[in-house]
Each structure stands twice: as C-alpha cells, then as structure tokens.
Amino acid sequence: MSTSRHYERNQVASGAMDHEQAGEVSRRAVLAGTVAATAAAAVLPVAGSAYAQGVDPSSKPDMMAFLLLSAALTGVHVITLAPEFSIDPKKTDILDQDPGVDPINVKNDYFKWLNAHDAATFGKLLQIAKDHRQSAAEIIAAVNAGDDTKFLARSIALLWYLGSWYKPADLQKNSAPGKRALIDSQVVSAKAYTQGLVWQIVQAHPMGYSNLQFGYWSREPVDPNDQNSRSDFGFITQTIP
Amino acid sequence: MRDNRLLAAQLTTALGLIVLCGMSTPTSAQTAAAGASEIKPLPPIFKCNANLLPDPFKGKLAGPDIPTGILPVSDQDKANILNSDLPCQERVSPNPVNADAGEAEGLENLQRGFDFYSWRTFVAMNSPADGKTTILQSQPDTPTRWESMDNFKQLLDVMLPTKMQPPKWPTDKAAMEAERDRLIPAECAVLHKQMPERMVVKMIEESFNEPFKTGPLIDQQGRYAIFDILMNRQMFDYIMKNHLNSKPGQSSAANAGLAVDFPPGQNADATLGAFMLKVSWKILGPDEPKPETFHKVKALVLMPPGDPKVKRPCLPETLGLIGFHAVHKTASRPQWIWTSFEHAKNVPDKDEVAAKKFDGPYNFFSVNCKDDCPEANATPPREFWQPDPALQLKFKDAKFRSQIVRETPLTDAAKNMNKIFHSMLKGTVWENYMLLSTQWPSVFGCTSLRSQSSEAPVPKTDFMKQPDMTCSPAPTFFANSTLETYSQGDIPLASSSCIACHGNAVGFQTGASNPKRGEVHLNQSDFTFMLEKAQ
C-alpha cells in the first residue's frame, strides 16, 4: 500500500506536539484517516528492533510511546489524547516528555487493557513507536509489517475512537476480501464509553451522556480545522495527512 | 512563585537571624517582626487579595502521613494565611514548590493548589463579621462574614414575585435593614420584630429536596436538613443590570442575544468577581448530642408552601452549619471553582463502614444499626417527603433516620491539608469542618482559550467551546454528603459533578432554537441554576 496517504506524512509524531501548527483537514478527512489507519495493510520490514517486554503505564517513555503510536493510528493530536501533556523544551527526546495525568486518564485504562490482552504484541508496537518516534508515517509502515502488530493496531484505533474492544483476531478474520461479518465488540468501561474520539470529532455524544451545552443542537458544528474557531479542534488533525 | 517564596523565606530567615544572634537591632525591627506574625481581624466587607500566597507546607501531602516539619505551622505562615482574605483568583501550578522534598507534580500539585485556595476561602468567609475579632476568637455563634447582609444575599431575596418592587442592595446599613424588613414574610413579621438580627430562611422545595428531586435528608433526630443559596454583590449587580431577576426580564427581546457571563475574579486588577454559596443546616434541638461542635445561627425558618389553605409556620430555630459550597468564577477558570466543606461528623466513609471503624456520633448515620435502619444512602419513603406544617420540621415517618455513607473517601492529600488547617484553627468551632475537595476545570488549553484575554469582546467567557464546555473537571465526580447525598458515586452523568451538572443550567431567555445563520442564541446561565428561580 505504498499509495496510502499515510506515507505522505512527515514528522507527524513530533509535529503533533505543536498545536499552533494545526494542519488543514476536514472532518471527513479525519474520519477517512481513521478508516485508512484501520485498513492500511502495507508490508514493510521493521528495522532490527529489539521488542520490549513488560511495558508499564507508569513509565513515562512507555506511555509516551503509546501516545505517539495512538496519535499516528488515530490522527488525533497527543494533547487531545493526553490533555495534561505539555512539552518541556529542555528535553529533546519526545520519550522523555511527561505524558501528564488528567482526571479521566483514559489513556492509562487503554494501556492496561492492551497490556492485559496481548502484552507481547503491545510491547512490539510500543517499541515500533519508540524506534520511529520522529515520523507517524514510519510508525504506520512498521506497524503494518506484521499481521500481529497490524491487527492489534486496528484494535487500538477502534478503542480510541469507539471506546470498544474489537479482538485483533476477529478483525483479521474479517479482513479477507469480500468478508463483511458482524464483529463482536466490548465496551471497555463506562469511562471509555464516554470518551470515544468519534464523539468529539463529529460533535455529538453517546446515548445517555453529554457534556454539550443546552441548545448545542441548534448550532452549526465547528470545523475541526478552523484555527480561528473557538473550539478545541485546533488541537486535532495535525497528524492527519 | 518560587522566587517570591524564596525571597520571603530569606527575609524571614534574615530577620530571625538578627534576633537569634542578639544583635543590637532597633526596637522597631522587633516590633515589625512580631507584628508580621500577628493574626488580625479581617474587615467586615470582603476584600480580595491578589498577592501571591503559595502554600508554605514543605513536602508531599499525598501520603498517609503529614511530612515532618509542617506541624506546628509557624506563627508567620499562620498569620500570612489567616490574614490573607479571599483570593481574587487561584494561583496554581503543576510544578511543585519543593520538588526536592518529594512534592508531587502535575495534576496532584494542581489539586493541592486548589485545595489550599479552598481553605483560604473558607477561613476568609467564616471569619467574624465584626471586623474586630479574628477567626481564632470565634465562638460557635459568632456571626461570619458571609452571613453579613453586606456580603451575601439570599437567592429568594433577589428572585421576587413580579408584583413586588425589584430587589435592592444598598450599601448603607439602614437602607439594607429596610430592604431586609421589606422582604420579611408576613408569617415571620412578629418574630422578626422581636429579634431582627435573626437569619430568615424562606423554604421552597429546593430547601429540603436534594438536586434532581432525589429526596430530603433526615438527621438522627428525625428532622429535615435545610439548604440555602446565596450570591455576592457582584452577582447581584450583574443580575440587576441585565434584568435577570424576573422571568419577564430574562425572556425580554432585549435579552434574546445575551450570553450570561458573570464577572470573574482576577488578580490582575484585584477584583473578586462572582461568588455563590450553597449551605446546608441542621436544626439543633435540645436533643442534639454535641451542639458546641457546630457553627450556629439563630434563624426564622418559614416552612415551604404546601396547601394554600394552611398558614406556613415560621419557626424560630437554632441552625448548625453542616455543609458549605463556595463557588467562585475566575478569569482563568470560567467554569468556576467549586469548593466543598462539611461538618466532620456528618457521615462515615464507606471504608470506615466496611472496617467498622467509627468515630461518631454522626449527624446522618447511626453506628448502632442492626436490621432496623434503612439501607445505606436510601432515600426516605417518597410519600413523606413534603414537610407537614403540623409537624414543623420533623419528618412524618417518625422512625426514619437517614443512613448516609460517603461513597468517595477523602484523598490523603485532602486529609492532610485538613489536619494542617485544623491545627491552625484549634480550639475554634472551625476545626470541626473539613474540606472534601475542590473541583476545577482541568484542561488548560480549554479553559484559557479566550477567557483570559482582556481584549476579548463580551462575553469574555467562551460559551462555544464544543464538544465539552466543562473542560474536564477534576476530580471527575464530587459530592457533599449533605448537599448531593443521593448522587454520590462515579457513574458518568448520573453521579454528582458540580461543573458537569451546572453546565446544563439555563434561564428563561428565548430564542435558543433555530437561530439565523451565524447568529448564536445560547440560553445558558453561566453554570448557575439561580436564574431558574426567577418568577
């Protein structure tokens, strides 16, 4: 899939830290990016990485690697995935930065969930993110190099967007041409249910939960790419091709 | 922050060294040093303090024990804190003042900053109103500053029936008293004349029924807990300026495009901004086991309206403070800062209940229950919720007592902050009150989007911040056992969150739907339900 739009990205992961440089992209592109992230199937070799084992959510490098991986897979800025994340200019390596702890902290829940379900492959993915931390395109390429990482990556993208767990094996089974079976999924937690990125991006809310203002339905949605808008969406889309 | 603190520490140390070394210092220097640690009465009227006052407590509070060296609090630090008056605006930082002392960073340090702000607020609010004595001289019945009619006004004295003249809030005492007298209900008039300084609580449904009409709270003596809401002068002025004190005013054509935006507190120009209070009271009868542990007021309580044929009793009661929400809008936190205190003996934590480690007696929990008590946190029987004028404020089901448990125990950091302030307030009634936590909007990029720009057009607060105007409240869930008794927990949107709930508040403005293209009708009320009480 050398024609994947993901290959056109450069410095995405590092650029993701600078929300002043939010790129131009439409909401459609955000969603298209999601689909592409889950569907891309390029096969590229992973350059001689020693895959880490025993990853730890309280380890800043491991959590940063998870955030970089997630930003590359979802196309959503790190600051949106980890709202208390901030850059310390004295630290030149992104892995040394502090991912921060926010009151919801869904990133920790997802990290633990993934580690509990497939620690080995998750460790591989984090190592890929560490090895290719300067480029989301390279992360995507490396992730797609093996079926184990590719399908767990798809599960991760779906986890962030929908707050639900789709088993990598089910996604793999369903990836054959012409296969369109319904895939079972599991809502990971009440927190995850409310935090799905899909709701932020389409500016809607899941059934039974809303922090949107009274009367929001009467207003036009905000363009995620409009840097002059008064929405938070300037924080999103930097990593979208 | 750090630099100023260091400077202050250096100055203090230098002064201390001069004295310790026995140098021939001028008498005036000694007097100045002694004067600096003197606890002084706060002025009767609030004056917010824009100066930097970081918490001086060195070490990590988020552990089971208070780090050594914090207690006893030095006279100087104590004076700085107790004399500081209300903060104009929070000053918080994710960076610890003493990282080498193991202080936490990030969210934990920010929470600590807000909790320190909350305790300062509580002390300033509850200092004596007389302007002559300090909080350390407070007796249980010493009138506090927030109870002064110069500082706060009860909501029902603002949202008056349209047949009455609109409310006023004069600045001279005689005119304030005249306005108070004008608003005394007929049922209370005789009693009021006998003792005019009594607080008057005019009950409506919200005065006994908890949020979302989840039911009343019944104490261990079988009486209703009572709730009241107040606003400061800045809120009142904004309401009156924009004709929000009545339904016709709110729904007028002139207000169709108004984005309600109460003034924020700011350090930059030392303005206090909007403040609202919600308090809860317990009726202190002769059967109260420890009445001296409560801050108390003499009050006239007008029972809520019920059968129009029955005269509403106006009851002379002694009320003990059991819960205290203080809510402050600041330029950097336009979702307001939500402080919550309660009486330490209201209820046990669920952990304490599980371990059967009780330290009662409690106001809303019996330690002697076997099979004869209601389930924990159960609401009273629905058919008896409405107070019966014949029973005054005794609950109809004579056997019922609320059996309330705190679902979310206090954090170690909050407990330690409480211990520190209790040590400073030792011997006063205020050592019986504890900070539960402080809720604040946590995502800086969200809260500061436009609100801090002095050049931003009115409304300065960004009400278009989708998808989440609440900016991720921390802690996510937050409840006071007396004010959100039945919505404790951690279920999204069902459990209590000050900001998330108040983010849905609206008034009676028209035109929320189907605006013209590019025209925004917000019909929000800036995180307060007060405007819903307009008549």
Domain encompassing residue B235: 152-533
CA distance B481 to B154: 22
Q: Is A234 helix (H, G, I), strand (E, B) or coil?
A: helix
A101, closest residue in chain B (CA to CA)? B107
Contacts of B256 in chain A (CB under 8 A): none
Examine the domain organization and report whether B195 and B323 are in the same domain. Answer: yes
Examine the domain organization and report whether B120 and B227 are in the same domain. Answer: no
Contacts of A208 in chain B (CB under 8 A): 493
ipTM of this complex prediction, to 2 decimal places: 0.70
Please check whether residue B304 is in contact with residue B431, taking contact to mean a CB–CB distance below 8 angstroms. Answer: no
Q: Give Cα separations from B67 to B46, B75, B169, B170, B425 (angstroms).
A: 33, 18, 47, 49, 19
A190 vs chain B: nearest CA distance in angstroms? Answer: 7
Q: Is A189 on the interface with B (CB under 8 A)?
A: no
In a domain, B395, yes or no: yes
In a domain, B144, yes or no: no
Q: Give Cα separations from B126 to A150, B122, B197 (angstroms).
A: 61, 6, 18
Q: Is A191 on the interface with B (CB under 8 A)?
A: yes
Contacts of B522 in chain A (CB under 8 A): 213, 215
The pLDDT tens digits along chain B (535 residues) read: 333 333 333 333 333 333 333 333 334 444 444 467 999 999 999 999 999 898 999 999 999 999 999 999 999 999 999 999 999 999 998 888 888 888 888 889 999 999 999 999 999 999 999 999 999 999 999 999 999 999 999 999 999 999 999 999 999 999 999 999 999 999 999 999 999 999 999 999 999 999 999 999 999 999 999 999 999 999 999 999 999 999 999 999 899 888 899 999 999 999 999 999 999 999 999 999 999 999 999 999 999 998 899 999 999 999 999 999 999 999 889 899 999 999 999 999 999 999 999 999 999 999 998 888 999 999 999 999 999 999 999 999 999 999 999 999 999 999 999 999 999 999 999 999 999 999 999 876 676 654 445 555 666 676 666 567 788 899 999 999 999 999 999 887 789 999 999 988 989 988 655 556 656 666 789 999 999 999 9
Examine the domain organization and report whether B251 and B398 are in the same domain. Answer: yes
- Report chain B residues touching chain A, CB-CB < 8 A: 94, 105-108, 442-443, 445-446, 449-450, 462-470, 472-476, 491-493, 500, 503-506, 512-515, 517, 520-524
pTM: 0.83
Peptide bond into B459 cis (omega under 30): yes
Examine the domain organization and report whether B255 and B380 are in the same domain. Answer: yes
The label of the residue with tokens 């999601």 reads: A34
Inter-chain CB pairs, A–B, below 8 Å: 112
In a domain, B143, yes or no: no
Examine the domain organization and report whether B13 and B64 are in the same domain. Answer: no
Tokens for B498? 């000050």
Q: Is A211 on the interface with B (CB under 8 A)?
A: yes
pLDDT value, residue B456: 58
Strand residue runs (E) in B306-363: 314-330, 333-343
Examine the domain organization and report whether B93 and B25 are in the same domain. Answer: no
In a domain, B146, yes or no: no
Domain count, chain B: 3
Examine the domain organization and report whether B260 and B282 are in the same domain. Answer: yes
Query: How many other C-beta atoms lie within 10 A of the C-beta of residue A163?
Result: 26
Examine the domain organization and report whether B227 and B159 are in the same domain. Answer: yes
| A86, A214, A230 member nearest B504 (Cβ) | A214
Examine the domain organization and report whether B115 and B226 are in the same domain. Answer: no
Please check whether residue B412 is in contact with residue B63, taking contact to mean a CB–CB distance below 8 angstroms. Answer: yes
CA distance B49 to B335: 21
Nearest to A99 by CA among A132, A57, A136: A57
B509 vs chain A: nearest CA distance in angstroms? Answer: 12
CA distance B232 to B329: 12
CA distance B15 to B206: 54
Helices (H), B346-408: 350-355
Domain ranges in chain A?
A: 5-235
Tokens for B289? 């086991």
